[in-house]
């Protein structure tokens, strides 16, 4: 698996449009016209990315909000960041 740099601030790509739908989020890549749906956790991670937080700050915030182990949260965040970067939805 690819690694993410924990200290690099993240930001949404200029080619993505995001909308909240209930507790979920829908992301649209305007270049590829691909649509991505994020569950509640993914939606929260996306909101923190929109705030310009780095991976460690996102993990710290999620630890306050979700009842999950720090290791599991870091793995979830890393996996989503890698997926978002692969689809050019986030700039790392």
For residues 88 and 30, the answer to whether their CB atoms sit within 8 Å is: no
9: which 2 tokens? 């601030």
Could you tell me which of 50, 57, 59, 58 has the C-alpha nearest to residue 19? Answer: 50
The structure tokens listed for 83 are 């997926």
Q: pTM of the entire structure?
A: 0.89
Q: What is the pLDDT of residues 42-75, one digit of tens each?
A: 999 999 999 999 999 999 999 999 989 999 999 9
Q: What is the DSSP letter of 58?
A: H
SS3 50: helix
Q: What percent of the chain has pLDDT over 90?
A: 86
Residue 1: its pLDDT value, please?
42
pLDDT for 78 beyond 70 = yes
């Amino acid at each position: 698996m690819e690694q993410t740099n924990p200290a690099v601030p993240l930001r949404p790509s200029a080619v993505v449009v995001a909308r909240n739908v209930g507790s979920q989020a829908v992301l649209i890549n305007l270049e590829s016209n691909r649509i991505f749906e994020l569950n509640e956790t993914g939606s929260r991670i996306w909101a923190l990315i929109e705030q310009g937080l780095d991976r460690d700050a996102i993990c710290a915030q999620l630890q306050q909000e979700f009842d999950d182990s720090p290791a599991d949260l870091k793995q979830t965040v890393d996996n989503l960041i890698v997926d978002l970067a692969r689809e050019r939805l986030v700039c790392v």
